Amino acid sequence: MNFCQAKSYIEKRARRELGFIKSDEIVFYMENGLEKNNKIKSNGDS
């Protein structure tokens, strides 16, 4: 493994396991319970 491959590997692990992002990135987090939340909101509106 050369230096570039090692750097890429470390970056991928840091992103996946530690949530690292670059300073110019925009991150969107999705919650697993979105369908449940939508049902709760629609039931509360009626």
Domain boundaries, the chain: 3-45
Q: How confident is the model at residue 30 (pLDDT cuts 50, 70, 90)?
A: confident
Kindly report the pTM of this predicted structure.
Answer: 0.48
Query: What's the rounded Cα separation, in Å, for the pair 26 and 24?
Result: 7
Q: What is the pLDDT of residue 6?
A: 93
Query: What's the rounded Cα separation, in Å, for the pair 21 and 39?
Result: 32
Contacts (Cβ under 8 Å, ≥6 apart) of 14: 20
Distances from the Cα of 23 to the Cα of 20, 26, 41, angstroms: 10, 8, 34
